[in-house]
Amino acid sequence: MTQVGQSGERAIVFGASGGIGAALVNLLAGRAEVFAASRTQPESLPDGVQWVHFDFDEEATIAAAVKTVGGPLDQVIVASGALTLQDGSGPERSFKQVERAAMTRIFHLNTIGPALIAKHFLPLLPRDRRSVFAALSARVGSISDNGIGGWHSYRASKAALNMLVRNYAIELGRTHKHAVCVALHPGTVDTALSQPFQSNLPEGQLTAPAEAAGNLLRVIDGLTPEDSGHLFDWAGERVEF
């Protein structure tokens, strides 16, 4: 049996096996009925949290997750994604390093995957009250903020995700007046994703996953439908696309 949290909210976190996703599940579990969705089953989950399997490589698993969750969801958070691929290929520093297969895979994980989650899960947002669809993007996916270049596939996949978030916010706004659809930048967070790139970080710039999750939930809690379609950072500041 899943636990019904104090607020009566129902939430699902995709990427619950990841650094930020797991921390989001831990925090949300104290206040909501939570579904933890991931490809790999987490070693442990807070009491009452129900694990849901999904894999971006099989859309049917996302459709099946809808059936497991059943009723309406107040929060759908997509905390999956990749910067380095499982074969070890990392982000490109030059256009000369772009490889079709690696770029395709990064777009599959960071752009198309969240789009498929939206396809299957946006219909579960209630029409009569506030609800949130939040996808973890990245500040480096902002075109206007890009001053140093590099990481071509990752940046482009997040920029494309930002565009989808804007599109979905517009579409959702027509039927769900209270819905919020946003992209979020979590800061630089101490997870497997950032681990290979942490050595040159300025002192104090690396955030622990639990702190990052707290920041993100604070931002989500403060958003209104007027914020829909935008990218916000961990402090709640809007980042221009």
Smallest distance, Å, CB 177 to ligand NAP? Answer: 28
Dist. CA 59–CA 119, nearest whole Å: 10
Please identify, using beta-carbon distances, which residue of 166 and 185 lies nearer to ligand NAP: 185
State the amino acid at position 188 in one-letter form. T
Assess 53 for contact with ligand NAP (CB under 6 A).
no
Q: Answer left, alpha or beta for residue 56, where phi above 0 means left and psi between -120 and 50 means alpha.
A: alpha
Which residues in 71-110 contact ligand NAP (CB under 6 A)? 79-82, 109
CA distances (Å), 48 to each of 2, 5, 148, in order? 5, 9, 45
Which residues in 171-190 contact ligand NAP (CB under 6 A)? 185-186, 188-189
DSSP lists the bridge partners of residue 51 as 36
| 150 exposure class (CB count in 10 Å sphere: 0-12, 13-18, 19+) | middle
Which residues in 2-21 contact ligand NAP (CB under 6 A)? 15, 17-21
Smallest distance, Å, CB 73 to ligand NAP? Answer: 18
Which residues in 195-224 contact ligand NAP (CB under 6 A)? none
Cβ(92)–Cβ(151) below 8 Å: yes
Tell me which residues touch ligand NAP (CB under 6 A): 15, 17-21, 38-40, 55-57, 79-82, 109, 136, 138, 185-186, 188-189, 191-194
